[in-house]
Amino acid sequence: MAKKNLSDKEIENLLMYEEIPSDTDSFAGGDGSDRDQSKIEEIPQGEQQLLLGEDLFRSDEEFDSEDEVPLSQLLGRIQPATQAVPLLAQTVRPPKWKKAYTILAPDNFTPSSNLPDETTSLAASQQMTTLKIFNMLWTDDIMQHVTFHTNLYAEQKGGTYKPVAADEMSVFIAVNLVMGVKKSPSYRDYWSSSPDLRDEYISHFMSLSRFSWILGNLHLNDNNLLPSRNNPDYDKLYKIRPFTEMLRESYKKNYNHTEKIAIDESMIKFKGRSCLKQYMPKKPIKRGYKVWAKCASSGYCLDFDIYSGKVGNKVETNLGGNVVRKFCEGLEDKNHKVYFDNYFNSYELQVDLRQKNIYACGTVNESRKHLPTLKSDKSESVTIRWFPL
């Protein structure tokens, strides 16, 4: 039978790993009879050698017919062959799954301690109080930063004003925290002349006019230095970026990473108008700001990042995996156990983390690439653990 010449489109599809049937019968959970042939499988080994081996540099004259010319050179008649190699180099080679598998016990966790001396001494003294813990996280530098930029904004607006001091700003922050516990329809109700609405405790510390002035001038960054939207350095979170970075550093330095770490998303409820607002219909809080969070097994927030959407016109790919990779920086070679859900999980992410000696466990979306055929959760309840809990 005569060999069939591949069309230009077929060659392009092969190089893009699209709908390539596999020559292997191995898969997880069956004998191969009900395997989903529509899954994207790996390029046969012979074709990979033609694409990536030394045949890439041979000329057409060294082959007996066009059928034996490497696919990379055939594609070169459509586009330069040098563009095909980086494309494949960035593609993860799909694995060959087997029905039998072995679970190996993870290596021992290597804890590390780099807490500040004041945090260590406070923990050893067993004299922790709510106020002391708050002052560990909300440092004097943060308070000075908020005070400075609030006065700067008032100065930029012009007019006469009484600058706010750091101590007065501390009272303002404390009043806001108490308002979160004793809620009223409006903050003005705490100073109401009506006895059923007035709060003697809150109104005792600060007048309504002073509270309103600080609330109206509260700022965290210099508006005059805000980049334009067309500037490459434009940041949707510019007005709060220095504050959040200082808070992140404070969170990270005052708590040791535990052996088991969870990475997930959290929602801050907000129904107003904002380009940062996200809508997630399946979440308890459906509208608000999305925050990526890394938490210790105790529930302490080790790190966080507010999601501001895509940057410019760049299309975001593998967002969940990139979030996990960013949060796992600094955890290499310590045998941490990281947990996340199917939004973040993928085969490529698991490979990356394992190469860094980071164990990972999470649910998986069966539609992700490079996965075996999985049994339905409805037919049989199966739990596979990658390491002992």
Tens-digit pLDDT profile for residues 33-90: 333 433 333 434 433 333 333 333 333 444 444 444 444 444 444 444 444 444 333 5
Q: What is the pLDDT averaged over residues 142-155?
A: 97
- Which domain range does residue 161 map to? 117-225
Tens-digit pLDDT profile for residues 323-348: 999 999 999 999 999 999 999 999 99
> Does the residue 328 lie in any domain?
no
- Please tell me whether residues 85 and 135 are part of one structural domain: no
- Please tell me whether residues 127 and 213 are part of one structural domain: yes
- Please tell me whether residues 85 and 167 are part of one structural domain: no
- Please tell me whether residues 157 and 218 are part of one structural domain: yes
Q: What's the pTM value of the predicted model, to 2 decimals?
A: 0.71
Side-chain half-sphere of 102: how many Cα atoms within 13 Å? Answer: 2
Distance CA 300, CA 274 (A): 28
Beta-carbon count within 10 A of 335 CB: 17
Tens-digit pLDDT profile for residues 297-329: 999 999 999 999 877 677 778 899 999 999 999
Distance CA 162, CA 146 (A): 16
> Does the residue 191 lie in any domain?
yes
Q: Looking at 165, 198, 225, which one is the last position of a domain?
A: 225
Q: What is the pLDDT averaged over residues 220-245?
A: 94
Q: Looking at 175, 201, 225, which one is the last position of a domain?
A: 225
- Please tell me whether residues 74 and 130 are part of one structural domain: no
Average per-residue pLDDT for the chain: 78
- Please tell me whether residues 21 and 83 are part of one structural domain: yes
Q: Over 80: is that where the pLDDT of 219 sits?
A: yes
> Does the residue 23 lie in any domain?
yes
Cα distances (angstroms) measured from residue 287 to each of 4, 342, 356: 56, 21, 36
Tens-digit pLDDT profile for residues 80-120: 444 444 433 356 677 888 877 777 788 899 888 888 888 88
> Does the residue 132 lie in any domain?
yes
> Does the residue 385 lie in any domain?
no
295 contacts 301 by C-beta, under 8 angstroms: yes
DSSP codes joined into one string, 310-368 = --TTPPP-SHHHHHHHHHTTT-TTTT-EEEE-TTT--HHHHHHHHHTT-EEEE---TTS
> Does the residue 219 lie in any domain?
yes
Distance CA 260, CA 359 (A): 9
- Please tell me whether residues 81 and 130 are part of one structural domain: no
Tally of domains in the chain: 2
DSSP 8-state class, residue 279: E
> Does the residue 75 lie in any domain?
yes
Distance CA 322, CA 308 (A): 15
Run of H or E including 266:
strand 260-269
- Please tell me whether residues 83 and 135 are part of one structural domain: no
Backbone angles phi, psi at 261, to 5 degrees: -130, 140
Write the CB contacts of 346 (distance below 8 Å, at least 6 apart in sequence): 318, 320, 321, 368, 369
- Please tell me whether residues 121 and 44 are part of one structural domain: no
Q: Looking at 163, 196, 225, which one is the last position of a domain?
A: 225
> Does the residue 100 lie in any domain?
no
- Please tell me whether residues 128 and 66 are part of one structural domain: no
Run of H or E including 264:
strand 260-269
Give the pLDDT band of residue 244 (cuts 50, 70, 90). very high
